[in-house]
């Protein structure tokens, strides 16, 4: 091998170690960058040549800059992000619902039911008392107001969930567009033998973020692009094409439409079972809140019907009869938002079972008030079986508590799994400053060695040239 060959070998060493130092510097600089994967410089010997009949190496070259990446781990993170997104939305809704049914306050619905029937008990003791009659009206009004309040809050929760779909679908659309753009950039870079590791990291992070919004599947094509689909098969991203979600009003709530990647028109798509925040939002809007609204409607409906059936059979001190105490329900659905006290005159409160204005009516008749007070402990047919009105409400509140616990358990489990997966990814793909500093010293010494080789070769060349002179 000639002296020039030594220079060539030294040059390859300088170039290779310089690249390795640059890669190490990139790792150190991105130690806190979300989604960044550690990169490694893979070196290999340069092609050999023959010198003096012996095969001789011609130095070193960088084979590739390799990204630490585990596709199985990426898929596990993607799936768990979808589960966590759905569970977190449902937990937030359940916590808000729990606050509505919190009867630790003095004005909760459970307390209102008890106070209302206690007022009938007081009236049965003094059926002619104006204060007792006014108390029945007041507690009845407060009871109706509490039904209305809970109905309004639950309905508002449905509306807020529906409106949040605007932001969610817009965010998803932005991510789909960005992933399609990254597909093109990665394809162009790697087709020119460039390094697209950072672009791939960005794309993988976007996939995980997107999975938290809506459940997706992905596959990498031979041309280096990612194809994204919903679990049901609809195409979200294909090469440089991307789909778009839109919302269509349907009777006061949004239906979700999807224009698939490469399609000209959109069509309805069902995301209720697709996991992610959108699926959780649809679950809150269409199932969770409705289940508590229906129970609240049933309680208001049963209470009003039981009270009205007895009240219409009784008589007020003014001799009136056939009066509903609460507005008569036309149906159960939505009644908790419609219930009102129909009686406005305390004299029309039917505490008696006979007309007190007649000679045989008896001015102190309290028999109907006793029957109404007894509703507090009466068994009433319901979706929970034969149960008292108070027990029905307590069962409803208990169901809310169980729902909150289930939601918190789901979130806690997902958080735990995500933490483990993130730690595993960090151990495999994250940057260790200690390791990078050791590598930096190693590459620095190798660079200095190559530089020393050039110095030595230069001295040898000077010696040869000196002999020539």
Backbone angles phi, psi at 250, to 5 degrees: -135, 90
Beta-carbon contacts of residue 402 (< 8 Å; ≥ 6 apart):
none
What are 260's two structure tokens? 């698939």
Are 169 and 194 within one domain?
yes
pLDDT by residue (tens digit) across 232-286? Answer: 999 999 999 999 999 999 988 999 999 999 998 889 999 988 899 999 999 999 9
Residue 185 lies in a domain: yes
User: pLDDT band for position 321 (50/70/90)?
Assistant: very high
Query: Does residue 328 share a domain with residue 241?
Result: no
Distances from the Cα of 245 to the Cα of 78, 237, 251, 292, 323, angstroms: 20, 12, 19, 30, 53
State how far the alpha carbon of 303 is from the alpha carbons of 259, 310, 390, in Å. 48, 11, 10
pTM for the complete prediction?
Answer: 0.89
Q: What are phi and psi of 464, to 5 degrees?
A: -60, -45
- Domain with 55, as residue range(s), is 3-68+430-468
> Do the beta carbons of residue 256 and residue 269 sit within 8 Å?
yes
pLDDT at 462: 82
Answer yes or no: do 87 and 199 share one domain.
Answer: yes
Asked whether residue 447 is domain-assigned, the answer is yes
Verify that 365 and 460 share a domain, yes or no.
no
Q: How confident is the model at residue 212 (pLDDT cuts 50, 70, 90)?
A: very high
What is the mean predicted confidence (pLDDT) over 110-128? 94
Q: What is the mean pLDDT of residues 106-129?
A: 91
| Domain-terminating residue out of 408, 438, 455 | 408
Residue 423 within any structural domain of the chain: no
Q: What is the pLDDT of residue 4?
A: 79
Shared domain for 103 and 246, answered yes or no, is no
List pLDDT tens digits, range 196-209.
Answer: 999 999 999 999 99
End-to-end CA distance of the chain: 23
Predicted pLDDT of residue 430: 94
Within-domain flag for 425: no
Phi and psi dihedrals of 321, rounded to 5? Answer: -150, 170
Same domain, yes or no, for 354 and 293?
Answer: yes
Task: Report pLDDT for 50.
Answer: 72
pLDDT-derived band at 58 (thresholds 50, 70, 90) equals: confident
Residue 318 domain flag? yes
360 within domain boundaries:
yes
* 3-state SS, residue 34: coil
Give 289's contacts (C-beta < 8 A, 6+ positions apart). Answer: 93, 97, 154, 157, 158, 161
pLDDT of residue 338 exceeding 80: yes
* Judgement on whether residues 322 and 177 belong to the same structural domain of the protein: no
Residues 195 and 226 in one domain: yes
**Pair 78, 216 in one domain:** yes
Query: How many domains, the chain?
Result: 3
Q: What is the mean pLDDT of the chain?
A: 93
Phi and psi at 320, nearest 5°, equal: -75, 150
**56 pLDDT more than 80:** no
Residue 437 has pLDDT above 90, yes or no: yes
Q: How confident is the model at residue 206, as a pLDDT?
A: 97
Count Cβ atoms below 10 Å from residue 43 Cβ, excluding itself: 18
Residue 108 lies in a domain: yes
State the pLDDT at residue 464: 81
Cβ contact 315:368 at 8 Å? yes
Q: What percent of the chain has pLDDT over 70?
A: 97
The whole-number pLDDT of residue 461 equals: 83
Q: Is 50 a member of any domain? A: yes
Q: Between these two residues, 465 and 23, which has the higher pLDDT value? A: 23
Question: Is residue 363 over pLDDT 70?
Answer: no
Domain identity same for 78 and 175: yes
Write down the pLDDT at residue 274: 87
| Cα R_g (the chain), whole angstroms | 38
Q: What is the pLDDT of residue 104?
A: 56
Chain-centroid distance of CA 139 in Å reads 40
Query: What is the crossing angle of helices 130-191 and 289-311, to 10°?
Result: 160
Average pLDDT score over residue span 24-38: 95
What pLDDT score was predicted for residue 178? 98
308 and 218, same structural domain?
Answer: no
160: burial class by Cβ within 10 Å (0-12, 13-18, 19+)?
A: middle
Going by pLDDT thresholds of 50, 70 and 90, the confidence category of residue 1 is low
pLDDT at 106: 57
Q: Calculate mean pLDDT across residues 130-158.
A: 96
* Torsion angle defined by CA atoms of residues 304, 309, 311 and 312, in that order, rounded to the nearest 10 degrees: 120
77, 422 contact by CB (below 8 A): yes
Look at residues 252, 274, 296 and tell me which one is the last residue of a structural domain.
274
pLDDT > 80? residue 456: yes
Which of the four pLDDT bands, split at 50, 70 and 90, describes residue 358? Answer: confident
Q: Distance between CA 46 and CA 58 in Å, rounded?
A: 5
195 vs 197: CA distance, rounded Å:
6
- Domain co-membership, 79 together with 116: no
């Amino acid at each position: 091998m000639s002296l020039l060959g030594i220079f060539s070998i030294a040059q390859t060493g300088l170039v290779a170690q310089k690249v390795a130092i640059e890669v190490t510097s990139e790792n150190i600089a991105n130690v806190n960058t979300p989604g960044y994967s550690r990169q490694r410089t893979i070196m290999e010997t340069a092609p050999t040549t023959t010198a003096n009949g012996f095969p001789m190496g011609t130095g070193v070259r960088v084979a590739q800059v390799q990204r630490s990446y585990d596709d199985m781990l990426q898929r596990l993170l993607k799936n768990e992000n979808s589960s966590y997104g759905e569970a977190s939305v449902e937990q937030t809704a359940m916590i808000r619902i729990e606050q509505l049914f919190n009867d630790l306050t003095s004005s909760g619905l459970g307390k209102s039911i008890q106070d209302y029937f206690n007022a009938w008990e007081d009236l049965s003791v003094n059926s002619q008392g104006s204060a007792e009659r006014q108390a029945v009206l007041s507690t009845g009004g407060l009871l109706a107001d509490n039904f209305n309040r809970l109905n309004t809050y639950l309905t508002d929760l449905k509306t807020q969930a529906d409106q949040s779909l605007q932001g969610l679908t817009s965010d998803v659309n932005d991510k789909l567009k960005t992933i399609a753009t990254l597909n093109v950039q990665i394809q162009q870079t790697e087709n020119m033998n460039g390094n697209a590791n950072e672009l791939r990291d960005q794309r993988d992070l976007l996939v995980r973020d997107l999975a938290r919004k809506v459940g997706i599947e992905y596959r990498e094509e031979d041309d280096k692009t990612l194809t994204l689909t919903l679990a049901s098969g609809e195409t979200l991203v294909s090469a440089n094409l991307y789909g778009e979600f839109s919302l269509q009003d349907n009777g006061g709530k949004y239906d979700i439409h999807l224009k698939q990647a490469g399609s000209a028109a959109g069509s309805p798509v069902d995301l209720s079972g697709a996991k992610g925040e959108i699926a959780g939002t649809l679950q809150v809007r269409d199932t969770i809140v409705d289940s508590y609204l229906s129970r609240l409607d049933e309680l208001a409906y049963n209470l009003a019907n039981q009270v009205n059936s007895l009240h219409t059979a009784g008589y007020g001190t003014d001799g009136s009869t056939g009066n509903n105490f609460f507005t008569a329900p036309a149906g159960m659905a939505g009644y908790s938002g419609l219930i009102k006290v129909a009686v406005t005159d305390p004299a029309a409160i039917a505490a008696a079972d006979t007309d007190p204005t007649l000679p045989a009516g008896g001015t102190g008749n309290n028999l109907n008030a006793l029957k109404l007070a007894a509703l507090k402990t009466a068994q009433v047919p319901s979706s929970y079986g034969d149960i008292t009105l108070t027990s029905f409400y307590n069962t409803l509140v208990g169901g809310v508590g169980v729902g909150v616990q289930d939601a918190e358990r789901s979130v806690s489990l997902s958080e735990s799994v995500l933490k483990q997966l993130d730690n595993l990814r960090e151990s495999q793909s994250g940057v260790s400053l200690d390791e990078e500093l050791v590598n930096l010293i190693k590459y620095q010494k190798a660079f200095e060695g190559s530089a020393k080789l050039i110095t030595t070769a230069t001295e040898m060349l000077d010696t040869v040239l000196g002999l020539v002179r």
